[in-house]
Amino acid sequence: MKPNEQDREQSILDAINGGLILLDTGGRVQSWNAWMERASGFSAAEVTGKTLTEIFPDTDLKRLPSAITAALASSASTWLTNALNPNLLPLRSRSSLPVLHDIAVSPIGAEPVTGCLIFVTDVTMTTNRERYLRQQQNARYDAVVESAPDVIITLDHEGRIQFANPAAVSHLGYSVAELIGKEAVELFETRLDFVATWRSAMASPLSTRPIELVARRKDGSQTYLEASASQWKTGSRYFVTVILRDINQRRATDAALRASEVQARNAAAALTELNQTLEQRVQDRTAQLTSAEDALRQSQKMEAIGSLTGGIAHDFNNLLAVISGNLHLLKHDVAGNEPAERRVKNALDGVARSAKLSTQLLAFARRQPLAPKVINLGRFIEDMDDIIGKAVGEGVTVEVKIGPELWNTLIDPGNVENALLNLAINARDAMDGQGSLTIEASNAILDADYVRMHADVVRGEYVLIAVTDTGEGMTPEVMTKVFEPFFTTKPEGRGTGLGLSMVYGFVRQSGGHIKIDSEVGRGTTIRLYLPRSLQIEEQLVDIDAMPVVGGNEMVLVAEDDEAVRDTVVALLNDLGYRVLKAKDAQSALSIVESGMPIDVLFTDVVMPGTLKSTELARKARERIPHLAVLFTSGYSQDAISNSGRLDENVELLSKPYTRDALARKLRHVLANATQKKLMQANFDAALLTGKYPAKKLLSVLVCEDDPLILYSTIELVRHMGHQATPAADAHTALSILATKPIDIVLTDVGLPDMSGAKLVEEALLQNPELAIIFASGQDQGSDVSSSNGAITLPKPFTYDALAEAIASAARKGRRP
Amino acid sequence: MTDAHPVMLTELEMDALTELVNLGVSNAALSLREMVREEVLLSVPKVTIMTREDAIASLGEGDGRKLVAVHQHFHGDIEGRALLIFPETKSMELVRAVVGGDMPLEELMELEQEALAETGNVILNACLGTIANNLQHSLQISLPEVVYGHGAEFFRLAPPPNVADGVLFIYINFVVRERDITGYIAMLLDLPSLITLKGMLGRFIERVGESGIVTRSHEA
C-alpha cells in the first residue's frame, strides 16, 4: 500500500468516535486508533505487537480473551456489554472519569480469518441518564420503602421474594441474598394464613385486610407480625407487595395485661376465702381429693372399656368388609333372580346397619379416624338450627345463643353435627317432648384450678358449647355411668345407648373436655370444651355428590388380611381396574421398585412388618412422583398420627366401605394426581407446540381451589395468549366478575364455599353473555351442563383439551 | 407435524447431526459457566427438521404467545440465521440466573436486554462454532440482536420465506443457580444450504466411521 493510502486509512481510523483495535492471528496488536490512545493512556507505538494481556497485565479481562479466540478460530462475533461486564478495560475520559463501555469482537476476513477487530463504544452518557431517570422515578418510593420500619417484601407470581427492604433484613436476620428467590411461605409458621393472604391479594386488586402471622427469624426465634398485601403489575407480570408490621410489643403488652388481671382477681378471691372459712376449707380439700380420685378412676375405667371396644370394633370391621364386598359381587351374579336379589339387598342393609354400629363404638373408643377442619362453631351451629328443630319436634323450644367474637376450633365437622344432634335428641327424651332446649357457644379459658379438679384436661383456651334442657335431670349415680356405651335410662327399644358415649369419645379424641351438671327435676347441662385454633377458618367440600364410575388404571393393593385382600381385588377388578397385590408394605415396595407403571397405591394403614405404610407411600412417591395414594383403615392409633388426625395430603377411606364409596374415592385421588402430573408435563410441551393459536384476546376467569392446579391453569391460559385471572373460591370469583370485564368463566364443579353450578347461576345473573366451562374430576351428568349451554372439560385435561374448550366457549359466546 | 421436507436426512445423518448438536450444546454449557461462574447444566431433549411454514404454524400467529429471541446471522459454506428463543415470561428467570445476586427488580429489568443478548451470544456461538469445526467448514457469525415478538415474525425475517427452506429445531433445557429454564434454538437454512449440510454430514460420517465417535474440540 502506498504511504498516502496508509495515511488516509489511518486518519479514518483516528476519526472514529470509538476505540478500534486490530489484532493479528496471534492476538497481537496491529492497529490502535487515536481514541484508544486517549482512553487507555498508551500510544500505538507502545502497544503494537503485544497481546491485550501484556498491555493490561493487572486487569481481569474476563471473557475478552476467549472472545478473541472464538473470532480467530471459529469466526464468531461476541458482544460484551457494560451492564454485565462493567469496567472491563481501564479507560478514562478526557476529564479522567471512568468510561463505561461496550465491546464488540469480530473476525476479519474469511477462509482464512486474517485477524480480529475489537470495537469499543462509550456508553457512559446513556447509562448515567438511565440511572438518573430511574432514581428520579424511584426516589419518592425508595425513600419510604428504604427507611420504613415495617418489613416490606415483593413477591412474584410464584410466591418467590424478588425484593426485600432493609427492615426485612434487620428484622428477620437474613441477608438480602438469602431472601431473594426464597419462597416467602417458608418464612412463616402460620403458613395457611400466609397463603390465604397471598392468594386473596393475587385474586383482587384491593388490598387485603390485615391479619396476624407468626414468622421465624433466621436465628430460630418467633416474631408476631401483622400483614397486609396488595397486587400490582408491570407489563404482563404480576407481583404482590406484602407489608409486615411488628406487633410483638403489642401482643406482649396485651398478654401481660390479661395475665395480671387474672392474677389480681384470683388473689382477691383467695384472700376472702382464706379469711372466712379455714376449717371449711380443710373439709372441702379432703372432699376434693376424694372426687379427684374418683374422676381418675372413672377415666381409667373408660380407658379400659375403650380399649376393649376398639379392639372388637376393628376385627368386626374387617369381617364386615369381607361380607360387604362379597355381597356386592353376589348382587351382580344373581341379577335377574328376584327373590335372590331381595335377599342380597336385605343382607346388605344388615351390613350397613352393622357398620353404623361399629362406627359408633369406634367413636366411643376414640379410635375413629377424624378429618378435622378449622371452623367457626358459631356459624356452624346457627346453620344447624333447622335440623335441630326438626329433631326435637314441636313441643320443644330451641334457643341458640352465640357469644361475640367466637374463636375458631380445629374439629371434624361431621362429628360435631352428630354430637349436637345426639345431645339434642337426648334432651328431647329427657323432657318427654315438652320443654326448652338452649344451645350456647362462647369462649372459655380453663385455668389451673379447674384442671386440678378434673381429670384428663389441660389448661388453655377453649370454645365452649353448652346444651341445656329442662328435663327430668340425673342422679349422681346415673351421671357416673352416662357416658358408658350401651348404658341407657330409656325403656327397651328406644335408642342404642351409644349416643352419649360417641359424643364423649369424639370430644376426647379432639383434645377437648366434657362435663355434665344436672339436678333431678330441674334439668341438665352438658358442656363440651373444644380446643381453640388460632388458624383461619377453612371451607368444607362435599365429594359425595358425584356419580360412580370405574376406571382402567393400575392399582397396587397392600393388605395383610387375606380375605379382605381377596375381596378388595375382586371389587377393583369388577370396577375395571388392573390390580397388583401385596401382603405387607415391604412386598408392596418391591413391586413399586420393579418398575411397574402403578397409578394408585391403595394400602391399609396398619400391617405387620417393619416398614410402615406411611413410609411406603413416601418411598413409592420417590419412585413415581404424583402417584395417587389412598389409605384405608378399620382403626388405627399410630399411623394416622397421635390423636387420630389425618396428616396433610393423605386421603383415607374408612372400613367398611361400600363399593360406591371406593369407586368415588379412587376417582377422586386419581383425578387430582393425574391433573397435577399432566399440568407439569403439558406445561413445558405447551410452551412450544401449541396448535391452537388464539384468534383473539379473551379474558378468562379461572376458579379452582387447589393452588397447584389453579396456577398451572392460569399459566396455560396465558400462554395461549389470553388474559387469565385466578380465583380460589366462588366469592372471590363473583367479586372479580363485578369489577373486571370477563368473557369466559372456567370453574371447578366443587368449590369450597358454593357449588360451581350455583356460582355460574349468580354469574349469569350479573352478565348473561358469559361463556362457561366446567372442569371436573368425574364424567358429569346432565344437571351441570344443561340449560346455559356450558361446556364441560373433564379433569384431568390436557393443554389441547383446554385450548379446544376455550375456543368453543369463545365461539358459543353470545357476544356480538 | 411431520418431518416431511424436500431434503430428507437419512437416519444416520440425523444421528450425526444430533451428536454434533449435543456436543455444541455441552460446549455452550462450558462457555456459559465461564460467564456466570456457577454450575450450568444444559440438556438437549430433541432435535427435528421441518419446513419453515410448519415451524411458523406450530408456533402460532395469535395475539398472544409472546417470545423473546436472540438472533445471529451466519454465512460461509452454508448460510442462514440462528435464534435462541424463550417465552417472554421466562426471560426474567434467565436474567436472574445469569446475573445472580440480590439485585433489585427494577435494575434487573433494565439489564434484561444485555443479559439476554450476551447469553444468547455465548450459546449460539458455541453451538454453531462446534458444528462448523466438526464439519470442517467455516462460518462467519454476526453479533447478536434481541428481538421480541411471535414465532411467525422471527421466521418471516427477510429474505421472504421459501417453501423449500428448512428449520432445524433444537429443544433445550438448562439449569443455572437452581433455576430450570426451557427454550429452543432454531436454525433457518435455505435449500442450497440444506443440500450442502447434507453433503457435509455425509463426509463427516465417513471420516468418523459408523460408530460416530466425536472428540471435543473446544477448550473449556
Q: pLDDT band at B78, cuts 50/70/90?
A: confident
Cα–Cα distance for residue pair A421/A442, rounded to 1 Å = 19
Beta bridge partners of A155: A161, A240
Q: Is the pLDDT of residue B214 over 50?
A: no
Q: What is the pLDDT of residue A547?
A: 58
Q: What is the pLDDT of residue A55?
A: 92
Q: What is the pLDDT of residue A465?
A: 94
pLDDT (tens digit per residue) in B25-36? 888 888 888 787
Taking residues B66-81, what's their average pLDDT? Answer: 86
Cell of B188: 433457518
Q: Give all strands (DSSP E) within A735-812, no chain letters.
A: 744-748, 771-776, 791-794
Q: What percent of chain A has pLDDT over 70?
A: 88
- Does residue A112 or residue A119 have the better pLDDT? A119
Q: pLDDT band at A276, cuts 50/70/90?
A: confident
Cα–Cα distance for residue pair B140/B129, rounded to 1 Å = 9
DSSP A508: H
User: Which range, A65-69, A116-120, A140-144, A183-187, is most confident?
Assistant: A116-120
How far apart are the CA of B187 and the nearest CA of chain A, in angstroms?
Answer: 15
pLDDT (tens digit per residue) in A277-304? 677 777 778 887 887 777 777 777 777 7
Distance of CA A74 to the CA centre of its chain: 53
Taking residues B91-115, what's their average pLDDT? Answer: 78
User: Which range, A433-442, A665-674, A744-753, B14-23, is most confident?
Assistant: A433-442
Cα–Cα distance for residue pair A428/A494, rounded to 1 Å = 13
The H-or-E segment that residue A754 falls in is none
Residues 6+ apart with CB under 8 A from A189: A214, A215, A216, A222
pTM over 0.80, yes/no? no
Nearest CA in chain B to A107: B140
Q: What is the pLDDT of residue A779?
A: 46
Chain-chain contact of A694 with B61 (C-beta, under 8 angstroms): no
Residue B179 contacts residue B39 (beta carbons within 8 Å): no
Cα–Cα distance for residue pair A257/A261, rounded to 1 Å = 6
Q: What is the pLDDT of residue B3?
A: 44
Cα–Cα distance for residue pair A660/A544, rounded to 1 Å = 10
Nearest CA in chain A to B122: A78
Chain-chain contact of A76 with B128 (C-beta, under 8 angstroms): yes
Cell of A207: 388490598
Chain B residues touching residue A689 (CB < 8 angstroms): 1, 58
Task: Encode burial over A742-764: b for 16+ CB neighbours within 10 A, e otherwise.
Answer: bbbbbbbbbbebbbbbebbeebb
Question: What is the 3-state secondary structure of chain B?
Answer: CCCCCCCCCCHHHHHHHHHHHHHHHHHHHHHHHHHHCCCEEEEEEEEEEEEHHHHHHHHCCCCCCCEEEEEEEEEECCCEEEEEEEEHHHHHHHHHHHHCCCCCHHHHHHHHHHHHHHHHHHHHHHHHHHHHHHCCCCEEECCCEEEEECHHHHHCCCCCCCCCCEEEEEEEEEEECCEEEEEEEEEEECHHHHHHHHHHHHHHHHHHCCCCCCCCCCCC
Chain A residues touching residue B68 (CB < 8 angstroms): none
Question: What is the 3-state secondary structure of A11-72?
Answer: HHHHHCCCEEEEECCCCCEEEECHHHHHHHCCCHHHHCCCCHHHHCCCCCCCCHHHHHHHHH
Distance of CA A753 to the CA centre of its chain: 16
Cα–Cα distance for residue pair A774/B166, rounded to 1 Å = 42
Residue A347 contacts residue A322 (beta carbons within 8 Å): no
Residues 6+ apart with CB under 8 A from A346: none
Taking residues A40-48, what's their average pLDDT? Answer: 92
Chain-chain contact of B125 with A111 (C-beta, under 8 angstroms): no
- Does residue A180 or residue A679 have the better pLDDT? A180
Q: pLDDT band at A645, cuts 50/70/90?
A: very low
Cα–Cα distance for residue pair B218/A70, rounded to 1 Å = 10
Taking residues A58-65, what's their average pLDDT? Answer: 88
Q: What is the pLDDT of residue B215?
A: 41
- Does residue A645 or residue B170 have the better pLDDT? B170
Is the ipTM here above 0.90? no
Q: What is the pLDDT of residue A382?
A: 86
Q: What is the pLDDT of residue A689?
A: 52
CB-CB: which of B110, B143, B184 is closest to A77?
B143
The H-or-E segment that residue A800 falls in is helix A799-812
Q: Share the mean pLDDT of chain A.
A: 81
Helix, strand, or coil (residue A78): strand
Residue A395 contacts residue A375 (beta carbons within 8 Å): no
Q: Cα Rg for chain A, rounded, in angstroms?
A: 37
pLDDT (tens digit per residue) in A706-747? 766 777 788 778 777 788 888 888 888 888 888 888 889 999
Q: What is the pLDDT of residue A466?
A: 93
- Does residue B137 or residue B124 have the better pLDDT? B124
Q: What is the pLDDT of residue B102?
A: 66
Q: pLDDT band at A28, cuts 50/70/90?
A: very high
Phi then psi for residue A565, to 5 deg, are: -60, -50
Distance of CA A605 to the CA centre of its chain: 24
How far apart are the CA of B136 and the nearest CA of chain A, in angstroms?
Answer: 11
Residues constituting chain B? 220
Cα–Cα distance for residue pair B120/B113, rounded to 1 Å = 11
User: Which range, A803-812, B36-45, B114-123, is most confident?
Assistant: B114-123
Q: Is the pLDDT of residue A105 over 90?
A: yes
Residue type, A700: V
CB-CB: which of B115, B133, B143 is closest to A84?
B115
Residue type, B218: H
Q: What is the pLDDT of residue A561?
A: 85
pLDDT (tens digit per residue) in A604-617? 887 888 888 888 88
Chain-chain contact of A74 with B133 (C-beta, under 8 angstroms): yes
How far apart are the CA of A758 and the nearest CA of chain B, in angstroms?
Answer: 32
Task: List C-alpha distances in Å: A771 to A727, A760, A813, A814.
Answer: 17, 10, 5, 8
Q: What is the pLDDT of residue A691?
A: 47
Task: List C-alpha distances in Å: A543 to A383, A515, A523, A661.
Answer: 20, 35, 40, 10
Q: What is the pLDDT of residue A189?
A: 86
Taking residues A693-718, what's their average pLDDT? Answer: 75
Cα–Cα distance for residue pair A440/A639, rounded to 1 Å = 36
Chain B residues touching residue A162 (CB < 8 angstroms): 105
Chain-chain contact of B125 with A722 (C-beta, under 8 angstroms): no
Chain A residues touching residue B62 (CB < 8 angstroms): 693-695, 720-721
Residue B151 contacts residue B55 (beta carbons within 8 Å): yes
Nearest CA in chain B to A127: B110
Task: List C-alpha distances in Å: A494 to A436, A468, A581, A627.
Answer: 21, 21, 45, 48
Cα–Cα distance for residue pair B215/B130, rounded to 1 Å = 11
How far apart are the CA of B55 and the nearest CA of chain A, in angstroms?
Answer: 10
pLDDT (tens digit per residue) in A461-484? 899 999 999 988 888 888 888 888
How far apart are the CA of B38 and the nearest CA of chain A, in angstroms?
Answer: 14
Chain A residues touching residue B50 (CB < 8 angstroms): none
Chain-chain contact of A719 with B1 (C-beta, under 8 angstroms): no
Q: pLDDT band at A579, cuts 50/70/90?
A: very high
Taking residues A371-380, what's their average pLDDT? Answer: 83
How far apart are the CA of B104 and the nearest CA of chain A, in angstroms?
Answer: 6
C-alpha closest to that of A713 among A798, A807, A779, A628: A798
